[in-house]
Structure 1
Amino acid sequence: MERILKHNKAIVIIIFLITIFFLFQIPKVQINNDIEVFLPDTHPAKVSNEEMKDIFGESDGIVAALKVDRGTILEPENLKYLKELTAGIEKISYVDDVTSLTNADFIEGTPDGMIVDDLVKDLPQNDSDKYAIKEKILSWDMYKNNLYSSDFKSTEILIKLKKGLSNDDKDAAYYQIKNLTDQYKSKGFETYISGSTAINVLMGDNMLQDVKFLIPFIVAVLIIALYLFFNNILAVVLILLTVSISSIWAVGLMAALGISLTLVSTVIPVLLIAVGSAYGIHILSHYYDYISEHPGELTPEDQQKIVYRTVNRLGKAVFLAALTTVAGFGSLASSEIIPIKTFGIFTAIGIAAAFLVALFLIPSLLIIIYAYRHDKLKDKYQAQDHFNKMINKLHEFYAGRRIGIIVTALVIIIFSLMGFSKIVVDTPLIEMFKENTEIRQADDFINQNFSGTNIMKVMVSGQKSGDLNNPAVLAAMDKLEKHLNSKFPEVGKATSISDYIKRMNQVMHYPAVESDSASQNTALSSEQDEIEDNSSSFYQGTAENSSSDDGSIADQSSSFYSDSSSTSAEDSGSDYDLDHSSSFYQEDDSSAGEQSNNSGQLELIPGPDREKELSEYDFISLLNSAFIRAENLNLTTDEMLALLKQELNYKAAAYYEIPTDLNKYNAASPQNLKNLISQYLLLYSGNVDDFINDQLEPDKAQILIQLNDPSNLTAAKVREDISNYTAANFPANYQVEVSGNATMALEANNLIVSSQTRSIVISFIIVFLLVAISFRSLLAGIYGIIPLAFSLIINFGLMGHLGIKLDVGTAMVASIAIGIGVDYTIHFLQTYYTERQEEEDLFIVTKKTLASTGKAIVFNAISVAAGFLVLLFSNFYPLVYLGFLIAVTMFTSSLASLTILPLLLNLFKPKFISK
């Protein structure tokens, strides 16, 4: 070391130049908290999600919920503002598509067939107009709990962003949308914005706030702690310089390599400042001890020798401590969770940098500064024994209480182990925010009033083009949606192309005569007749449609199926005569004569009789018939009303289904019904790209499931149920894949336990081997991991007893605790060994070890714990709990190193550390 340190000026210049280089790289760092970055590129869930995005487009975006202060969302003024806001958002350059009450698709049956137009084409002028709009909204269950809440006080605007936007573009899109919606607060709207993009943007913003606040905070804490320990400004400056340089190198390297900063990476500068100070503390603590012991005047030559002596004496211990710390953090590189892997790699690099800078820069600067300023520094060095009394009392306390300490340690371990079973593994991104944050409140509001913001996707794939027009698989998808909605209250909505097919099938069976007569009714009377169980489409495109939803099924067939021999196109106003409609049921011309006994005419189920009067008995019979059709007995009013409509076929309610019954639809074969569905898609003029990969002959379809619970535990239950249900109920030769943000978050959640276990095992193995090699004894390796095991058991026990979840933040505690805590064990063992070579009395050996290294261990543990406690002020719960748990492990691991370890050494007197 003397040879190297003789070039002290060159060392300072080289370190300075490297630091300048990395400092200029830091502005290039990017922030990315998308759930996709948590998984490796080859992970099946990520691959599947990317495939679905390529086929169906990006389904997750920004959700703006609006709650009105006055009246309902259907008031003319409120709809006017909603329409203005929708148009304003559509003009934002980053926005691809916007869906709201004022522009959502509405599929309607008319005497002329099927048309698609805006749900709200014209703003209401009176109550009748308002009720007519409400009737349309209630006529299709696609809108419920997305475009309107159950009390009609709230609505949502669903925003899809363009593909390929950068993180900066998404930031700009979010804030433009937010600024626009905030303008409507003065017009009687409460606004709430959430969705995956909003969460990611605000997570990045809060990360920057954390960095700007926490780093100065921890520096201030470290300055106070260092000054209290050393009572020397130079020592404070040298240690701060060391940790600052190591932080710059680590973050600068990330930026230079294009590695994005994530929530987990935010901890790197804080950790390096807290942990990196250990090497400087140990070096300077021993340096000042030697200075205080030097007799007479201290010349520059004497001081230089003391620097060399300090480095030579501590070199091995500091190197071994740094190596085990690097190994502890490096073990996180085995994690499959990318942010944790990145954190482990670059923290290990930062720790290595802190060690090198402390070992070379601090001694070099000590030599340079003293050579030039020794006349002013020679009286500044005094023994600092702030902790000597405390250390001596600690030693005296446990020296005569060996059995008591062992029993106490066993009780603590048993109590901690009891908490292991209570640990919950869950990492929902939104719950990383505190409850009082705007995004958390917005997400809670949307989950409570609408279908939810947590998206799961199910892709159903056929083998050839047109396979997803098969009524059998569409019916299976429809049944899966109903199954999920009925079984899981956390499933706010499940939506697919089957919902569109059912609606088109219904409206194409509206009898022409009923459509004409119903159009003459007032909207008010329609409102009294029409209250349906409905839900909304989260992902509709916009299209042009017009007329209102009215009329009911009569004994006559609809224009869609009219017989040309009895009803001409001119009479019915329909473009679809017998020749056109019958073609829907033909596989080829030769089969045309086989399709029906009625020359191709479809006999429709009659609708309710307008003139018939019901007796009490008839009314009860009607209710009973409808009730028998129910799948369960716990019916809501909406569900009972829907069953009554089906029983009477009110407004073709009996046809709100996937056409699968050959007799009901006068079809000769399933292929006829498949052709019918193909015709429906041909007639539809709206946008269904979110649900099928081809407008006419799809071979892939997507079911979008909205969860109103962000928990991964809920997502796990839903995904398992989907797998079981589809395996038992879907037709053969159809493949089902489950993905989406909810699924990727679940997969990241599942990786936490395996990654946690792997990193702990790797850390312990590395620490064991390094200590064993250093002392040339396997038994030494066991002694080296005992204090660490003790502190980790307490850590996980506390998590269970206090209800702290094992998430992406707390999953790192074990490796961090091992990486830092092993320093205390190594420094104690190394100093104990040195003292043991000079002294037989173990009481004296222990006392001397505690007086020198013990003092540095106590101070280092206090400074590291204090540094991590700064994280209690973070904006994110994972970092809050990380700071708390690391502080606890610093206390327990240092205490175990100063009590349990010397007790075992003195009790069993292992040969590896004996004289």
Structure 2
Amino acid sequence: MSEQKHHFNSEPEHYILSPETEPMLERFLFGNRTLVLIILAALTAVFAYGLTKVKLDSSIEKYIPLNHQYIQNYLVHKDDMKSGVANVKIAVEAVDGDIFTKDYMETLSKINDEVFFVRGVDRSGMQSLWTPNTRWTEVTEEGFQGGPVIPSTYDGSADSLEQVRQNVLKSGQVGRLVANDFRSSIIDVPLVEYDPETGEKLSYQQFSHDLEAKIRDQFGGDQYRIYITGTPKKLGDLLDGAGQIAFFFLAAMIATAVLLYLYSRCPKGTVVPIIASLIAVVWQLGALALLGFTIDLYSVLVPFLVFAIGISHGVQIINGIAIESGKGANREQAARQAFRGLYVPGMLALMSDAIGFLTLLFIDIGVIQELAIAASVGVAMIIVTNLVLLPIVMSYLGISKAGVRHAEKTERSDPVLWRLVSQFANRKVAPLPIIIAAAMAVVGFFVSQDLKIGDLDKGAPELRADSRYNLDNDFMVSHYSTSSDVLVVMVETPPEQCNDFKVMDAVDRFMWHMENVPGVQSTTSLVTVSKLVTKAMNEGNLNWSALSRNQTILNTSIQRAPSGLINPDCSMAPVIVYLNDHKAETLETAVAAVEEFKAQYDDTVEQKYFEMRIPQIQQAIANGEIDSVPVRFQLASGNAGIEAATNQVIAEAQNTMLVFVYVVVFVLCFITFRSFTAVACIIIPLVLTSILSQALMTYLGIGVKVATLPVIALGVGIGVDYGIYIYNRLEVMIIAGKNMQEAFLETLKSTGKAVSFTGITLALGVGTWMLSPIKFQADMGVLLTFMFLWNMLGALILLPALATFLLRPERMRQRHRDRHGDVPPAG
């Protein structure tokens, strides 16, 4: 390199600094290229080993906000709850005829026995027509009589089948375990949390496969149809669908390679960025595995984003090297110049990405927090692989002659498109995109006011409406009286006091209150049993279908209450509320109704009174410490209760996360460019995209939920890259002496070309997600595609329009002279 202090070529903004003025990081990396490559190769080997340790986790706990008060309440009574989240229902339908045939009963018995031995089933809690805990009861002149629905004397004869029919009618299971049309029945299957054979957490994906192979495939057919629902089965289906992500990844990689070659016309400039980005993915997955993290349904999408982000920054590096090579620089000089001009904006963009992703840690849901960590780790790896490894490797390989010729041709060309786009940096044209953007922001803001928190569809919104799971769920909903969407409210009392008249009366009032709430189908509790038994004990007279104030009669009426409606020490009695669906509006209405009742009926005495036994409670009442047996209604369990808690966490964290993302981007941009106008030019297009994306969600009927909330941070984090690269190059050209429109035209010819290529490539890549069988992935694909394209357009159209009015070129040049003397900026 020349010993003179500065050397300039024909381009006014381009220069080669002497060794004394080379950035220290550049001198270290390129002065020790061999050592750096050896170190990076060793790290790749370590992380590749870690890649072999990657595990797919389907634990339900990761998908719920464990620290939310509702979930804390549920965990206290988890062992006593029958209506938890780890339950599966298997319906067996007779295609022709009803269930009261010898062949159907034999088939149901075989299926029941097969399910009993499936790994992970809580065998003591299983319930079907063939389990002894499904009983019938009737009142006769001699008192109560009852027994198993299918008696021990059953032999398949016509008389036995008729007896089963009569027992089913007496059991109260029509509409619950038996369909309303008597053509199917259900096997209710609770699951254990840990695999009893391995001691590890139960794999819902393997459990789902076992049900498909041993139940649906073996017994389903023309004569009988099998329907399976429940959160564990849904997770299993989602994990199976997640396996197709590899095909989307491969398709995106092939498309990227083709587009990258057309862009660079250099095989080395195509292959090396892809390999560098794939190394970043290997590093990310390997590092997470070595740190003890697992991959779940959401973080499994992160490697694709890491690859896409890596490509976007790799394109900038290749573009810079090609331009420098076209100006006569040798391989090493071209790589050094590209690194020198891009490592600051590249580092800023990637740091913004990483810290922006970390804002997802505000959301107290395991899968989102792990997604945040996975994405941040991936971006940290890109800093090394694409800003260090890529330029060093290219300093050895260089751009091919065809690539250099293509870069020179592009540099000399004067595309009509870029000349048209550069008009947005003209003071006469610039007001137009600003006015349009302002109008779109206003309209988008008002439309987004109708954006809902939570699910807006029936069934499992994570899967498509025509998926097997949702078709099975539709069958359950249409043929059984009890909904699959259950909100469980836990009524807490001191031990052995859940049957006190005051408690039972409060529960009775609560059930009446909830049954009059829109969206609630019905309720059931210990009170339901008490009223039925009391009525039965009085010749079925409806006048006796009420709670008795006589405590002895109350005690007698609940002696045979099902275990799911009372815990062993009678300190908690759940009220099961069946909802029409789990839509956000339904959940909000139901939860608000419960909170309203709680405010009126909950006793606010100290916790110690809820731990006292009967003599102590009686003494406390006698001493005037409390008026009566204390009672409180605690939310929530059941799948609807869990989802209500999740929606509340998302609603609380949504705005906090969004504000923090923008604060991080603002601070980092200001530290780098030290100009409020620069920050405004970069951030305003991002804000517009965020507003429009929320309006799009409202228009498409996509709620803010676990799957879509991370998209907001991802869209802002990745989208800011465009603005940073465009502004950095624009500033360089302005300081070099060009007017605003000329500076922007030169920016478009180099960085603008790379930004438009990146935006289109990323959009095409995530656009393939729209074909996924997993609806939440398809939703993420729609939103990310929209955000990538709009962020790109914002950087190419709105940013220069804003810069035309906000930036002061002479002041920028003077500030640069004050800081650096008369040295033009690096090209």
Matched, 1:796 2:699: no
Contact 1:861 1:890 in 2 (8 A): yes
Could you say if the C-alpha distance between residues 208 and 168 of structure 1 is closer, same or farther in structure 2, counting changes exceeding 3 Å? farther
Evaluate the alpha carbon distance shift between residue 364 and residue 839 of structure 1 in structure 2; reply closer, same or farther with a 3 A threshold: same
What SS class does the counterpart of residue 388 from structure 2 fall into? Answer: helix
Per-residue CA deviations over 1:787-845 (Å, capped at 9, x if unaligned) read: 11122222122222333322223222222222112112111221111111221432222
For residue 883 of structure 1, report the CA deviation from its aligned partner.
Answer: 1.6
- CA contact under 8 A between 2:519 and 2:581: conserved in structure 1? no
How far is 1:269 from its partner?
0.9
Match of 1:419, SS state, is helix
Partner of 1:199: 234
What code does the residue aligned with 1:739 have?
A: A
Partner of 1:324: helix, strand, or coil?
helix
Contact 2:453 2:703 in 1 (8 A): yes
Aligned partner of residue 144 in structure 1, secondary structure: coil
Match of 1:599 in 2: none
SS at match of 2:575: strand
2:169 maps to 138
Q: Of the candidates 689, 692, 695, which is equivalent to residue 563 of structure 2?
A: 689
Is the 2:693–2:783 contact (alpha carbons within 8 Å) kept by the matching residues of 1?
yes
In the other structure, the counterpart of 2:405 is: 382
Q: Is the 8 A contact 1:57 1:690 kept in 2?
A: yes
> Counterpart of 1:51 in structure 2: which amino acid?
V
Task: Describe the SS at the equivalent of 1:690.
Answer: helix
- Which of 539, 552, 557 matches 1:672? 552
Match of 1:264 in 2: 298
Is the aligned partner of 1:467 residue 2:497?
A: yes
Q: 1:496 aligns with which of 512, 521, 525?
A: 525
* 1:707 corresponds to: 579
Q: Is the 8 A contact 2:678 2:807 kept in 1?
A: no
> Which residue number in structure 2 is paired with residue 723 of structure 1?
595
What is the CA–CA distance in structure 1 between the aligned matches of 2:513 and 2:449, rounded to whole Å? 32
Provide closer, same or farther for how the CA distance between residues 304 and 487 of structure 1 changes in structure 2, counting only shifts above 3 A: closer
Query: Any idea what the Cα deviations from partners look like across 1:234-282, whole Å, max 9, x if unmatched?
Result: 1121111121121122222222233232322122011111112122111
Amino acid across the alignment from 2:109 = K
Cα deviation code 1:771-792 (max 9, x no counterpart):
2222222333222211111222
Contact residue 501 and residue 658 of structure 1 kept, 8 A: yes
Q: Deviations over 1:128-175 (max 9, x none)?
A: 65454333333353x132112222222211111234334544444333
Preserved contact between residue 87 and residue 231 of structure 2 (Cα < 8 Å): yes
What SS does the aligned partner of 1:899 have? helix
Q: Distance in 2 between matches of 1:28 and 1:454?
A: 37
- Give the equivalent residue in structure 2 for 1:76: 102
Counterpart amino acid of residue 837 in structure 1: I
Residues 457-488 of structure 1 deviation map (CA, whole Å, 9 limit, x = unaligned): 2211112x320122342344345445544545
Structure 1's 868 and 175: CA in aligned 2 closer, same or farther, altered over 3 A?
closer
Q: Distance in 1 between matches of 2:414 and 2:97?
A: 73
Who is 1:365 aligned against?
A: 393
Aligned-partner Cα distance in 2 for 1:78–1:57: 28
Separation in structure 2 between the aligned mates of residue 378 and residue 84 of structure 1, nearest angstrom: 72
- Aligned 8 A contact 2:489 2:574 in 1: yes
* Aligned mates of 1:442, 1:729 — CA distance in 2: 39
2:764 pairs with 1:845: no
Q: Distance in 1 between matches of 2:35 and 2:185?
A: 67
- Amino acid paired to 2:771: F
Q: Distance in 2 between matches of 1:172 and 1:859?
A: 42
Contact kept? 1:767, 1:784, Cα under 8 Å: no
> Secondary structure at the residue paired with 1:382?
helix
Residue 659 of structure 1 corresponds to: 548
CA contact (8 A) 1:107 1:504 kept: no
- Counterpart of 2:802 in structure 1 is 904
CA distance in 1, matches of 2:345, 2:737: 20
User: Which of the residues 437, 441, 444 maps onto 2:471?
Assistant: 441
Amino acid at match of 2:396: I
Determine if the alignment matches structure 1 residue 744 to structure 2 residue 634.
no
After superposition, the C-alpha distances for 1:299-329 in whole angstroms (9 at most, x for unaligned) are xxx3212221221122212122222222222
Question: Structure 1 residues 147 and 380 mapped into 2: Cα distance closer, same or farther (>3 Å)?
Answer: closer
**What is the one-letter code of the residue matched to 1:383?**
H
Are 2:56 and 1:19 equivalent residues in the alignment?
no
Instruction: Pick closer, same or farther for the CA change 1:224–1:712 going to 2, 3 Å.
Output: same
Q: Which letter does structure 1 place at the counterpart of 2:36?
A: I
The one of 442, 448, 453 equivalent to 2:484 is: 453
Alpha-carbon distance between aligned partners in 2 of 1:41 and 1:146, rounded to the nearest angstrom: 30
Q: Which amino acid aligns with 1:709?
A: D
Call closer, same or farther: CA 1:863–1:772 in 2, change over 3 Å.
Answer: same
Structure 1, 361-370 or 433-442: larger mean CA deviation: 361-370
TM-score (norm 1): 0.76
Measured in 1, the distance between the counterparts of 2:598 and 2:477 equals 27
Which entry has the higher C-alpha Rg, 1 or 2? 1
Normalising by structure 2, we get a TM-score of 0.84
1:147 maps to: 177
Alignment of 1:778-797 (within 5 A): 778-797=676-695
- Partners of 2:165 and 2:503 lie apart in 1 by 33
1:352–1:132 Cα change, 3 Å? same
Aligned to 2:349: 321
Aligned with 2:577: secondary structure?
Answer: strand
Report the counterpart of residue 595 of structure 1 in structure 2.
none
Does the aligned pair in 2 maintain the 1:325–1:348 contact within 8 Å?
yes
More displaced stretch, 90-99 vs 309-318? 90-99
For 1:837 and 1:706, locate their aligned partners in 2 and report how far apart those are by CA, in whole Å: 68
Report the CA distance shift for 1:187/1:362 in structure 2 as closer, same or farther (over 3 A).
closer
Aligned-partner Cα distance in 2 for 1:157–1:494: 21
Compared CA separation, residues 484 and 699, structure 1 to 2 (3 A): same
The residue identity in structure 2 corresponding to 1:896 is: G
Partner of 1:546: none
Runs of 5+ unmatched residues, structure 1: 510-604, 608-645, 661-669
Deviations 1:722-758 (A, max 9, x none): 3333554678610211222322212212222332211
SS at match of 2:563: coil
Instruction: Give the letter aligned to residue 474 of structure 1.
Output: M
Query: Residues 728 and 315 of structure 1: is their aligned pair in 2 closer, same or farther, counting only changes over 3 Å?
Result: closer
Unaligned runs of 5+ in 2: 1-25, 603-627, 815-827
Q: Verify the 8 A CA contact 1:864 1:890 in the aligned structure 2.
A: yes
Q: Say if 1:422 and 1:803, in contact at 8 Å, map to a contact too.
A: no
1:469 alignment partner, SS class? coil
The answer to whether structure 1 residue 402 and structure 2 residue 402 are counterparts is no
CA distance in 2, matches of 1:186, 1:309: 68
> Cα–Cα, structure 1 residues 821 and 913, in superposed 2: closer, same or farther, change >3 Å?
farther
Q: Give the aligned CA root-mean-square deviation in angstroms.
A: 2.8
Q: Please tell me whether the aligned partners of residues 424 and 430 of structure 2 are also in contact (alpha carbons under 8 angstroms).
A: no
Q: How far is 1:330 from its partner?
A: 2.3
Please point out which of 84, 88, 94 is paired with 1:62: 88
Contact 1:40 1:336 (C-alpha < 8 Å) held by counterparts: yes
- What amino acid is aligned across from residue 394 of structure 1 in structure 2? V
**Cα separation, partners in 2 of 1:3 and 1:186, compared to 1, 3 Å:** closer
Pick from 214, 220, 225: which aligns with 1:185? 220
SS at match of 2:460: helix
Cα distance, 1:329–1:56 mapped onto 2, change above 3 Å: closer
Go from structure 1 to structure 2 and tell me whether the alpha carbon gap of 1:828 and 1:397 turns closer, same or farther (over 3 Å shift). Answer: closer
Change in CA separation of 1:902 and 1:91 when aligned onto 2, cut-off 3 Å: closer
Instruction: Check 1:193–1:768 CA distance in 2 against 1; reply closer, same or farther (3 A cut).
Output: same
SS across alignment from 1:431: coil
| Cα distance in 1, alignment partners of residues 56 and 512 from structure 2 | 40
Give the counterpart of 1:289 among 318, 323, 342.
323
SS at match of 1:258: coil
> Which among 388, 392, 396 is matched to residue 419 of structure 2?
392
The answer on 1:173 being equivalent to 2:207 is yes
Opposite residue 350 of structure 1, the aligned amino acid is: G
Counterpart CA distance in 2 for 1:500 and 1:471 is: 14
